[in-house]
A and B are shown apart, each in its own frame.
Chain A
Amino acid sequence: MFTFTLRRLLIAIPTLLIISLVIFLLLEAAPGDPLGEVPLTVPPEVKAKMREALGLNSAWYVRYLLWLKQFFWVEPVHLWDALFGTSYGEGMQRVISFQSRQPVMQIIAERLPQTLIVVGLAYVVGVLIALPIGIISAYRQYSWFDNIGTFISMIGFSVPTFFTGVVLIIVFAVKLHWFPSVYDTTLQVTDWASFKAQIRQMVMPVTVLALYNAAQISRFMRASMLDNLGQDYVRTARAKGLTEKVVVLIHVLRNSLIPVVTVIALGVPTIFGGAIITEQVFKVNGLGQQLILSIHANDMPMVMTLTFIFAILIVLFNLVADLLYGILDPRIRYD
């Protein structure tokens, strides 16, 4: 297992380098100008100076290598400085956002908690709802519970979050005034009242995303359970005289979880990516929203860095899923 992990991590390095190059070239090829939003009244020679200041005049490979150096060397050094109070990184050029002139990593660090709280909680809630629904739906296949579950999953699957989000806002925020329609990022949880306010503003975005996640995972869970419920070893377990609880929860569920755990693990990177659309609908100042803003403004360092971080997470969680598979299924060995 250890050598397998090590080998996979080593393979990940060239993979990620190629991914970063592809992202960079795609952004390079995309139309648009980082200075497009600069007012027309600004004289051309000033614009040319701004362009030079942003480093846009050098060749693309120079800028790419510079970004690589900044991302893999300067940023870790700064992280080290921030963590241990040292100052090795002084004077080194960090990855700077065109838009805000702030270090990109600083913006990400500011926005990450919002995304993790809202989108992460939605994912956890989604999984917690999906597993029991999937299990019961499969165990009582074609019962009314299963039919209702199937119906709700189909809705969750097929109705996009920007629609359910707006419907929820109209019903619960505009008509009923139960929850605020806009997520207030500046809210500090200090006492009971602010905690309640925080919960209230989280309810709707979390519900929308949880429904979407639960719909997918519950279908996987149901299919996987059905697959295993029909297996011969389940009959063996019943013939042993085990209680139905043991048969379903130990024998069937444990075997059914393997593909589902993989799906759940592979879904984790999307949490960090933030639900781009849902964050937009509820005005959550998370990473997804930042990505959209930066794309609009042609903020290349920001888009590049964010996309690349998502790529790292995807590669990493692919490995995690593979390792989980190996732990859960004794037939799979990575030697």
Chain B
Amino acid sequence: MLDAPGKALIEVSGLKMYFPITAGVFRKHVGDVKAVDNVSFTIYEGETLGLVGESGCGKSTCGRAILRLYEPTAGAVRIDSKDVLAADADTLREMRPKMQMVFQDPQASLNPRMTVAAIIGEPLDEHTSLSKKDKLARIYELMDQVGLNRDFANRYPHEFSGGQRQRIGIARALALNPKFIVCDEPIAALDVSIQAQVVNLLEELQDRLGLTYLFISHDLSMVRHIADRVAVMYLGQIIELAPRDPLYVEPLHPYTQALLSAVPEPDPEAEKTRRRIILKGDVPSPANPPKGCNFCTRCPKVMEICRQTEPTFHEVQPGRFVACHLYQETAD
């Protein structure tokens, strides 16, 4: 994947998602929560891009904005060189089969009043004209694919365990043969023993169906397992984007270094020597990010320039992008 990046499937450029803050009697617009602030990246066909970051940094918002489940404030998202954000409602609906999402909470994201067959089959009603028999065959095929017993087709979501429900969510996402799937923390709500099953299922499906994933997670070890490249987000911005191995071995951005130092080592000997970089202070409010670099308030290697000018996001080594003044000179 590293040597021969395939065709770019998803191109995100300058994506911004601001949520307005209103105040007062007349709901005057007084500011914005900059949940996603000027994010650009590319996902190549067949790869998995991991998107990591701490809670509230805008990972999920970013994933939803790409699929236009929110109306982004600015930017462009192209899937197969077709702009998702500029499409009108009908065109967008026709594009939906190509891009799907697996949601975080498998309990809440399935309509409690629909049977499994109805949940998986509904996209088929909407976007295809299969006969009843063909549709049922397709539903069974999908259930087989994700390892669900066919006999469960007429049951309701609440009758399943968490892992099974997530399989329903995956089968639903697969129904229309998508090319691109945003996995929004698909394993965060699951038991550890089930997490591996679901992640392996996702990998298996990727191999079989040639899927492209944007894998959003805060679980760094899981991302290391599944992702080809990893993007690190902090306060609405991507601060580092690199192929998996170099990023985990030698993180460049001070935030990535701190983040990775927090991953516990399974080996007790190595764990003894693990040096954690403890960040001081809290994440600034996304409604009022600091001037200059977003990370300057907590960065252990902060310099004067960090508080003044915002670093640009640029390539410092082949395939490695970082937004930090420490690497700005080397690039110039």
Residues of A at the B interface (CB closer than 8 Å) are 142, 231-233, 235-244, 246, 251, 254-255, 328-331
Contact = CB atoms under 8 A, between A and B. Distances in A.
B172 A240 contact: yes
B69 interface: yes
Given A236-B172, A239-B69, A240-B96, A330 B156 contact: yes
B114 to A, nearest CB: 8
Chain B interface residue count: which class? 20 to 34
Given A239-B100, A240-B96, A241-B97, A233 B110 contact: yes
A254 B69 contact: no
Nearest to A242: B126
Interface in B59-102: 64, 67, 69, 89, 92-97, 100-101
A255 B113 contact: yes
Residue of B89, B112, B156, B173 with highest tally of chain A CB at under 10 A: B112
A232 B69 CA distance: 11
A233 to B, nearest CB: 4
B158 A331 contact: yes
Interface of B: 27, 64, 67, 69, 89, 92-97, 100-101, 103-105, 108-113, 115, 122-123, 126-127, 156, 158, 169, 172-173, 176
B117 to A, nearest CB: 13
B113 A254 contact: yes
A288 to B, nearest CB: 38
Contacts of A329: 112-113
Given A240-B123, A331-B156, 14 more contacts: A232-B108, A233-B109, A235-B103, A236-B101, A238-B69, A240-B126, A241-B92, A241-B96, A241-B176, A242-B126, A243-B93, A255-B112, A330-B115, A330-B156
Nearest to A251: B111
B290 to A, nearest CB: 32
A324 to B, nearest CB: 14
A231 B156 CA distance: 17
B168 to A, nearest CB: 10
Nearest to B107: A232
B122 A240 contact: yes
A97 to B, nearest CB: 49
Contacts of B176: 241
B189 to A, nearest CB: 11
B112 A331 contact: yes
B24 to A, nearest CB: 14
A218 B105 CA distance: 31
